Homo-oligomer: A and B are copies of this chain.
Amino acid sequence: MPRTAPALHLALTLPESDLPLRHRVADALVSAIRDGRLRSGDPLPATRVLATHLAVSRGAVVAAYDELVAAGYLRARGGAGTFVAPEADRAAAAGVASHVRPTATPASGTAPRTPPLRWDLRPGRPDSSLIDPVAWNRAWRAGARPTPADNASAGPLHADLRRALAEHLRRSRGIPADPEELLVVPGVAATLHALTPALGLAGRVVAVEDPGYAEALTAFEVAGARTRAIPVDDDGLDPARLGDDVAAVYVTPAHQFPLGARMPVGRRADLLAWAERTGGLVVEDDYDGEFRYDVSPLPALRSLPGAAAHVLYVGTASKLLSPGLRVAWLLPPAHLRESLRIALEQRGLVVNEVTGAALAHFVGSGALVAHHARAARTYAARRAAVVAALARHLPGLRLLGVEAGLHLVVDLDDEVDDLALVGRLAALGVGVAPLSAYCTAYPRTGLILCYASLPESQADAAVRAITRVLDGIP
């Protein structure tokens, strides 16, 4: 049986190391398990408590807990919090933390599994079942038709795909791009990890949105950039808060991740003026910029006059088609293109030939336009259904980011423990993400809910399950 929370009695100290904070937090926890200060079945302190205790960001503690859950040291038990896993002490005794060699995994060898979700509304999940299987299979058949030997004697890699994507960017995002200017990359995460070394950002200040895309923050930090969290408001990131010492800023202007603001034109102009004045680079992650509802279109920041010299545009197939495709595209400023291409290739960050050719066929044949139209219609209806159900069952709830993208945010008061709510929702079969997990220096709480895969007929039932947990929460 779990004992009472040992938060105040658990004297953790962060090990001295160059490792990222979340790894040092994970190390400290594994040490405590090894020493017997934490034993199997013990509850972990709330992330906020431990973050204060260690004087680190809550995000680092959340990330450390996630890592140790995945490695099997900890177990998340629905709404009951996080506990030291059975056998974890024996595993810890055999080694040190999960990323420092030698390392132990629990004796069972398999990570604990969470129960299956009836409604998986966690962000980043488009409905891939909307993809037309006939067009999909035809595209891959076309992509695989040339053998590797044919490809070896053909022209530059992914020329067809770059042509097709240039057309997509022009039509769908208002960006005039030459195919030769585009770089095809195996996903956004891998690219972000390479940006710091590729652009010489180590030791320099990279501004990120807070709350924001945690993987971007991690990618810059791990590679040695000095990240600075900039709070976002209802209009997204405020360029006035960017200092002149910022070398690059990572932004999501189409649909701020995760809060969902669409950055207004005035701020976009201010952002470009900042880049113009300081020489700073703007990394525009347009992750779900293809989707908007009931509002006028707002082309990508990169499409504005003068943006080409300052904005590194990042697009992806993850939301448009499927995250499992692992394809993204970059439109860098001309002066960075060649060095970026070399750095990505040197790191092996190259999309394989068949995948590139298949996507080129899917885009070039018009299948992407048809899919996008179908998906946008479907997501609009699902969004309307979930918004209506929330208004019906939980009137007065504050919703953010409903105008665009694939998810919305239920804004909660700061004293609410959204991690606990997420656990309780998971126990009811509803998967959502806690807003606090995306915060660094400016804590907020809320629930991130992706409606893209929630059929309209299920919206009411899912929202009623949410109501059981949220009712009475401020």
Most chain B CB within 10 A, of A72, A137, A325, A352, is at: A352
Whether B143 lies near A128 (C-beta < 8 A) is: no
Q: Are A145 and B137 in contact (CB under 8 A)?
A: yes
A350 x B338 contact (CB < 8 A): no
Interface-forming stretch among A185-193, A382-390, A422-430? A185-193
Q: Which residues of B contact A337 (CB under 8 A)?
A: 105
Is A346 within 8 A of B189, CB to CB?
A: yes
Contact residue among B70, B190, B335 (Cβ-Cβ distance under 8 Å from A103): B335
Contact: B129 with A186, CB < 8 Å? no
Q: Is the CB of A349 within 8 A of B147?
A: no
In the complex the two chains form, is B144's CB within 8 Å of A105's CB?
Answer: no
Q: Is the CB of A193 within 8 A of B137?
A: no
Which of A97-148 touch B at CB < 8 Å? 98-105, 109, 111, 127-131, 133, 136-137, 139-141, 143-145, 147-148
Contact B141 A347 (CB under 8 A): no
A1 in the interface, Cβ–Cβ < 8 Å? no
Q: Is A473 an interface position by the 8 A CB rule?
A: no
Task: Tell me if A19 is interfacial: C-beta within 8 Å of chain B.
Answer: yes
A118 to chain B, nearest CB (A): 13
Question: Would B353 and A354 count as touching, CB distance under 8 A?
Answer: no
- Least CB distance from A246 to B in Å reads 12
Of the residues B99, B348, B355, contact of A187 by C-beta under 8 Å: B348
| A68 → chain B closest CB, angstroms | 10
Closest to A322 in B: B148
Size of the chain A interface, CB-CB below 8 angstroms: 86
**A103-B335, A189-B348 known; A128 and B111 CB under 8 Å?**
no
Contact between chains at B140 and A144 (CB < 8 Å): yes
Identify which of B140, B200, B218, B321 contacts A99 (C-beta below 8 A).
B200
* A95 at the binding interface (Cβ < 8 Å): yes
Asked if residues A198 and B347 are in contact (CB atoms below 8 Å), the reply is no
B residues near A342, Cβ cutoff 8 Å: 67, 70-71, 98-99
A133/B147 contact (C-beta < 8 A), A198-B99, A348-B188 known: yes
Tell me the complex Cα distance, A148–B201, Å.
36
Interface string of A362-387 (1 = CB under 8 A from B): 00000000000000000000000000
The residue in chain B whose Cβ has the minimal distance to the Cβ of A181 is B109
Complex formed: what's the CA distance from A190 to B133 in Å? Answer: 31
Whole-angstrom distance between the alpha carbons of A202 and B99 in the complex?
12
Q: List which A143-171 residues lie within 8 A (CB) of chain B.
A: 143-145, 147-149, 151-152
Other than the known A19-B202, A105-B339, A324-B352, what 17 A-B pairs have Cβ atoms closer than 8 Å? A18-B202, A71-B342, A99-B200, A100-B199, A101-B281, A102-B279, A103-B336, A111-B338, A127-B149, A136-B148, A137-B141, A137-B144, A141-B141, A144-B358, A187-B348, A325-B352, A352-B352
